[in-house]
Chains A and B, each alone.
Chain A
Amino acid sequence: MKDSGFDGGFFSRLKWKLYDLRVKLSGKPKKKQSYTSVKRQETIFLTLLLAIPVIQFCIFYIGVNINSILMAFQEYDGVTGEFKMAGLVQFRKIIEQLGTDGFGLRDEVERSTMQFLLALLVSLPLNVFVAFCVWRNLPFAGFFKVVLFLPSMIPSIVFVLLGRQFLSHGVPEIIEMITGMPSTLDLLDYRDPENLTGFKTVLVFGMWMNFAGGMVVYLGAMSGISDDVVEYGRMENINMLQEFWYIVLPSIFPTITTYIVVTLAGFFTNYGFFYSFFGNKASGTVTTLGHHFFALVAGDGRTPAGMDQYPEAAAGGLLFTLIVTPITLGAKWLLEKYGPSED
């Protein structure tokens, strides 16, 4: 206060004197705490802050996964209601199914691959493209922003119900209007292992629903791009495609990498809209691996499946985790090493 060059009147000086007195009486500013005391307070704070998340993680991630590994080597005894060790029985079952044509896991691997490739090669680029168009403020961008969000906003089960009714009643009527003949086309036929009609329909439906997926995160990443860089590009007269390729894509590539890695990681778990459309009815005919293992546990959704299915699902999970983990980590490494950089 003394150094502030304050040159007020009597009342101002009195005010500051009173302030000094108050600080002295209240003990503020606090006397300097020792390093140990500061550290102790910090430790207490962090312990309180992190206790629940860390304990939760230990029980419901580490504990669950250790139990899952154990379960993969067990089988369920229906008489005693207990799980007992059974060696590699469940793994043998899975490997046998992988080697069987027809309704086995091998076909589910194929269908999961199709689903994955579509997500990676079509949906992901579309998502980035759509987010870029909205960010770039195309005409009607505000309107697009709301409509494009509808699939993320309205419950997917609502769209499934709308889609199911439209495909079952609307599409046949459209065909009838065009051809003049009654149509018996069933685009959701899940009993047709040859043409996979139901599978393809739901796959396309999923892609259509996911057209603007991840928009919130991509727009967030794009909002971090400096206006100066964009303006510089404009002065250089680059077109919209060049702006996307040379400015936007490198800037948001870490976010894209995250999405690619998450897509890869979901290879064996993604059941898309299959469960919503078919529940566990379509078992073996139009299922993917994710749908198969989910339905093993979830049953028909009304009552959970019996516990006798659990060890098989756990063994399948362990086996596929061992396969997909190195692929995911390898992809991440490659993308970081060879992907575009902001420089």
Chain B
Amino acid sequence: MAKQKRNFKIDVFAVISLVVIGIYCLSLLVLIGWGFLNSVKAQIDFRTNALGFPSLAGPENAYQAGWHFDNYISAFNVLKVERNGNTYYLEGLLFNSLLYAVAMAFTNVAMHLVVAYACAKYTFKLNKILYMTAIVVMLVPIVGSLPSEMRMAQLLFGKENNLLEVCLMKNRYTGTYFLVFYATYKSISWTYAEAAQLDGAGHFQIFMQIMIPLAKNTIMAVFILLFINYWNDYYIPMMFWSHHPTVSYALYLAQNSSGSSEFASSVPKQLAACFIVSIPVFTVFMIFRNQIIGNVTMGGLKG
């Protein structure tokens, strides 16, 4: 987004806006701060003192009070998921998440991008059908196709899917980002391609060497948004890739388990794991926040 210096004028609406947003932001930070404080407490301290700072520790109660930053190390050992005889600890779960998020985001971007590009820049028989299908799929809400999808996955790929199969199954071209890429390519002039054609470039070269670089800000923004989305997602891994658990899925399992594992019974360690899980996406967002904001523009559902 181009930096626009807007003259700011204080009026009643502006003051109300500031107060409302300020209170909301404060509430978010309070919850996160509360979570962090409790992530460095001993379990007993958390039970008796959920609101304050960690209690002061003396030599006689070092394990029951004080600042327990070691919870962050313990989280690596106690957050675990067992699947098919394999035990996935936090580092394994993080690796699965990374693999899953990158593969899914890449496939999703690729599916949306190629169809949007073709529809926006070429005139061919299927053009209108593909565009209209994308709109209709967004407009017509199909409810309850999950059982059929599960059945289809079992029939086509067997009981356990690999990541490639999950990527192929779950990434249709007919999503919101189709409209984003379509709007992006509609706004890019075809003159660049014509100039390249005069120099003898083929369609593939034009696509790879001109059109993708021209839309790279949007592509990057969408990829990062999707990466964050898939990193946080536990529904798809739960349903289709559960034998390679991701961190989000592991956290879901941990908090909905009725078991008495060390992780389930230690709230501070659960909170410490939460912060560890959030660090990668927070870092990605902080690095790329300027690319994300302002580069995703979506038109209406004209059809």
Residues of B bordering A, CB below 8 Å? 1-2, 4-9, 11, 13-14, 17-18, 21-22, 24-25, 27-29, 31-32, 34-35, 38, 46-47, 50-51, 111, 114-115, 117-118, 122, 124, 126, 130, 133, 137-152, 156, 168-174, 176, 179-180, 198-200, 202-204, 207, 221, 225, 228, 231-232, 234-235, 238-239, 247-249, 251-253, 255-256, 267, 270-271, 274, 277-278, 281-282, 285-286, 289, 292-302
Give the CA-CA distance A138 to B231 in the complex, in Å.
31
Residues of A within 8 A of B292 (CB): 216
List the B residue with the shortest CB-CB distance to A158: B274
Is there an interface contact between A268 and B118, defined as CB atoms closer than 8 Å? no
Is there an interface contact between A154 and B130, defined as CB atoms closer than 8 Å? no
Q: Whole-angstrom distance from the CB of B87 to the nearest CB of chain A?
A: 15
| Any B CB within 8 A of the CB of A146 | yes
List the A residue with the shortest CB-CB distance to B276: A158
Q: Whole-angstrom distance from the CB of A341 to the nearest CB of chain B?
A: 11
Residues of B within 8 A of A139 (CB): 8, 18
List the A residue with the shortest CB-CB distance to B6: A137
Is there an interface contact between B21 and A148, defined as CB atoms closer than 8 Å? yes
- How many residues of chain A are within 8 Å of chain B by beta carbon? 124
Is there an interface contact between B148 and A71, defined as CB atoms closer than 8 Å? yes
Residues of A within 8 A of B301 (CB): 254, 257-258, 261, 332
Is there an interface contact between A136 and B295, defined as CB atoms closer than 8 Å? no
| Any B CB within 8 A of the CB of A220 | yes
| Any B CB within 8 A of the CB of A250 | no
Is there an interface contact between B252 and A268, defined as CB atoms closer than 8 Å? no
Beyond A68-B144, A170-B51, is A153–B228 a contact (Cβ under 8 Å)?
yes
Residues of A within 8 A of B297 (CB): 217, 220-221, 223-224
Residues of B within 8 A of A154 (CB): 232, 278, 281-282
Among B32, B170, B200, B298, which residue has its beta carbon within 8 angstroms of that of A162?
B32
Residues of B within 8 A of A321 (CB): 140-144
Give the CA-CA distance A50 to B124 in the complex, in Å.
12
Among A53, A60, A164, which residue has its beta carbon within 8 angstroms of that of B149?
A60
Is there an interface contact between A227 and B172, defined as CB atoms closer than 8 Å? no
Residues of A within 8 A of B255 (CB): 157, 160-161, 164
Q: Whole-angstrom distance from the CB of B126 to the nearest CB of chain A?
A: 7
Beyond A56-B111, A223-B294, A320-B144, is A155–B277 a contact (Cβ under 8 Å)?
yes
Is there an interface contact between A325 and B29, defined as CB atoms closer than 8 Å? no
Is there an interface contact between B151 and A45, defined as CB atoms closer than 8 Å? no
Among B47, B146, B300, which residue has its beta carbon within 8 angstroms of that of A294?
B146
Beyond A49-B114, A166-B34, is A155–B281 a contact (Cβ under 8 Å)?
yes
Beyond A45-B202, A162-B35, A265-B141, is A301–B225 a contact (Cβ under 8 Å)?
no
Q: Interface readout for A90-117 with B: 1 if CB under 8 Å, 0 if not?
A: 0000000000000000000000000000
Beyond A317-B144, A321-B141, is A149–B285 a contact (Cβ under 8 Å)?
yes
Among A129, A155, A212, which residue has its beta carbon within 8 angstroms of that of B17?
A129
Is there an interface contact between B295 and A220, defined as CB atoms closer than 8 Å? yes
Among A57, A143, A208, which residue has its beta carbon within 8 angstroms of that of B172?
A57
Please name the 6 residue pairs, one residue from A and one from B, whose CB atoms are nearest each other, closest first.
A317-B144, A254-B300, A265-B141, A310-B147, A68-B148, A45-B203
Beyond A41-B202, A149-B285, A162-B271, is A318–B38 a contact (Cβ under 8 Å)?
no
Spot the interface stretch: A8-16, A192-200, A234-242: A234-242
Is there an interface contact between B173 and A146, defined as CB atoms closer than 8 Å? no
List the B residue with the shortest CB-CB distance to A154: B278
Among A68, A152, A165, which residue has its beta carbon within 8 angstroms of that of B228?
A152
| Any B CB within 8 A of the CB of A337 | no
| Any B CB within 8 A of the CB of A304 | yes
Among A60, A68, A138, which residue has its beta carbon within 8 angstroms of that of B21?
A138
Residues of A within 8 A of B300 (CB): 253-255, 257-258, 336
Give residues 312-343 of A contacting B (CB, 8 Å).
313-318, 320-321, 324-325, 328-329, 332, 336
Selected A-B contacts with CB under 8 Å, 30 pairs = A54-B130, A56-B173, A71-B148, A130-B21, A137-B4, A138-B17, A144-B25, A153-B278, A155-B234, A155-B248, A155-B251, A155-B278, A157-B251, A165-B271, A170-B50, A216-B292, A217-B296, A234-B7, A240-B17, A254-B302, A258-B176, A261-B138, A264-B141, A298-B238, A301-B253, A307-B151, A317-B142, A317-B144, A318-B144, A321-B144
